[in-house]
Amino acid sequence: MLLAAAFVTVALASPPGDSDYWTRVNKDAFTHYACKTREKDREYTIRTASFDNGKNTEPGVYTAVARGSDRNVVTWRNSKKWSGHHAHTTLRNVRSGDRLWMQGAYYGPAAPWSDGFAVSKLKRCDPR
């Protein structure tokens, strides 16, 4: 158990893109990364990190997860807090068949389009 906690800490402390724990999800003015941690039988927690590409931009990021259709948003978050050029969010109660969408806040709230990233393809934050 302690070893698994150490892996999660390493994944969260490592800069996205330079780590085997993060998946590059998409890119707009920011580069967006995510990873997943199994919580229950069929559910995950998704951790996200959006990189401002070193530009110190003001807008935050929106993240959303849809299940089954674009209209069924099961969880969403936004963040305007930047630390070390990254803004982070955490999405809970996510399933493998869900779709993740991440975007800069300058576009407005996240719209979970059908071309969102498949949660099943995300790398694990705690690989075993």
pLDDT band of residue 10 (cuts 50, 70, 90) is: very low
* In-domain check, residue 127: no
Residue count of the chain = 128
In a domain, 93, yes or no: yes
Q: What percent of the chain has pLDDT over 90?
A: 47
Mean pLDDT of 67-90: 90
Question: Residues 6 or more apart from 87 whose CB is under 8 A from it?
Answer: 30, 49, 50, 52, 60, 61, 79, 80, 81
Specify whether the CB–CB gap between 75 and 118 falls below 8 A: no
DSSP 124: B
Residue 100 in any domain: the answer is: yes
Which of helix, strand or coil describes residue 46?
Answer: strand
Name which of 55, 7, 5 is nearest 29 in CA terms.
Answer: 55
Looking at the structure of the chain, the number of domains it has is 1
- Higher-confidence residue of 39 and 56: namely 39
Q: Tokens 């707009």 identify what position?
A: 28
Question: 128 lies in a domain?
Answer: no
Residue 32 maps to which CATH number?
2.60.40
Q: What domain range includes position 17?
A: 2-121
In a domain, 23, yes or no: yes
More confident residue, 91 or 108: 91
The pair of structure tokens assigned to 112 is: 């979970």
Is residue 113 included in any domain, yes or no? yes
Q: Which amino acid is at 46?
A: I
Average pLDDT, the chain: 82
pLDDT surpassing 60 at residue 87: yes
Residue 52 placed within a domain = yes
User: 76 lies in a domain?
Assistant: yes
Please state the rounded mean pLDDT for residues 40-50.
Answer: 90
How many H helices and E strands in the chain?
1, 8
